[in-house]
Amino acid sequence: MRASVRCRASILIGVTALLAGCSNAASGTPAVVSGAITSDSASKVSSSAPMTVTTVTATVTSTTLAPPPSTATPSSPPTLTTETSTTETSAGPVIPPTDLTGEVYGFVTAVDVGKSEITLDKIDWFNGAAAQQACAEDGETRTDNNWCTGYYYRNVNPALRVVAVSPTAVIRTLADGTHSTDSSLNAVAARVAKTFASNTYRLTVTDGLVTSLEEMYHP
């Protein structure tokens, strides 16, 4: 009987040590078992069911929730609107630039009836005494057909000028070769096309436009 009690006491002591070890292990303290085991304790141990020690491990996962994305619609960059105003103008005939103004003399070498333009080879024209003086200055001695005695001209600049003719210009041509008569730009074009015509004209240019065009007679 004593041997049985001793065996049960040993078992009880072992279980107690085991429980103490688990408890102290959790707190990090070594287990110490001491004290005596009575027969009542041994009897209680022998009649108790086997003990089961269960270790529960709890894992806590911390999750940081990000703030929800903003549902506000991002503002779009401002759109610049440029208003362009246009002014409509009535397009008239294009007037070619010219340095001619006032009374001008020259040879009409071409006529553009559609554009109402003439091409002019400008000359310096002299009459009477001015013609005689100019001839003397130039060393010109020829005097036939009233040359240098009645008229004279210089053509020292070969440049050709395009000049616009006003739609209201007064135009006169030599109908029979000697007498001036009212005419038109078409008649001037016809005269220029003939090789025997003098094609010498006196012009009046006002604000870049030919306002009068008269064919001149000379032998």
Return the pLDDT at 165. Answer: 98
Question: pLDDT (tens digit, 9 = 90+) per residue, 81-135?
Answer: 444 444 444 455 678 999 999 999 999 999 999 999 999 999 999 999 999 999 9
Bigger pLDDT: 76 vs 3:
76
Q: Count CB atoms within 10 A of the CB of residue 88.
A: 5
Query: Can you tell me the distance from the alpha carbon of 135 to that of 129, in angstroms, rounded to the nearest whole number?
Result: 10
The whole model's pTM is what? 0.57
Query: Comparing 62-66, 132-136, 215-219, which segment has the lowest mean pLDDT?
Result: 62-66
The pair of structure tokens assigned to 183 is: 């005419």
Give the pLDDT score at 145.
92
Three-class secondary structure assignment of 109-154: EEEECCCCEEEEEEEEEEEHHHHHHHHHHHCCCCCHHHECCCEEEE
Which tokens sit at 43? 């009897």
The per-residue pLDDT for 179 is 86
Beta bridge partners of 118: 111, 163
What CA–CA distances, in Å, run from 45 to 23, 39, 54, 64?
A: 20, 10, 19, 50
**pLDDT score recorded for residue 219:** 74
pLDDT for residue 211 is more than 90: yes
% of the chain with per-residue pLDDT over 70: 56
pLDDT bucket at 218, cuts 50 / 70 / 90: confident
Q: What is the pLDDT of residue 194?
A: 84
Residue 199: the pLDDT is 87
The alpha carbon of residue 13 and the mean position of all alpha carbons in its chain are separated, in whole angstroms, by 100
- In what helix (H) or strand (E) does residue 186 lie, and over which residues does it extend? helix 185-193
pLDDT of residue 4: 46
> How far is residue 153's CA from residue 125's CA, in Å, rounded to a whole number?
4
CA gap 90, 187 in Å, rounded: 30
pLDDT over threshold 50, residue 36 = no
Q: Helix (H) and strand (E) counts for the chain?
A: 4, 7
- What integer pLDDT is reported at residue 205 of this predicted model? 98
Please check whether residue 149 is in contact with residue 141, taking contact to mean a CB–CB distance below 8 angstroms. Answer: no
Binned at pLDDT 50, 70 and 90, residue 166 comes out as very high
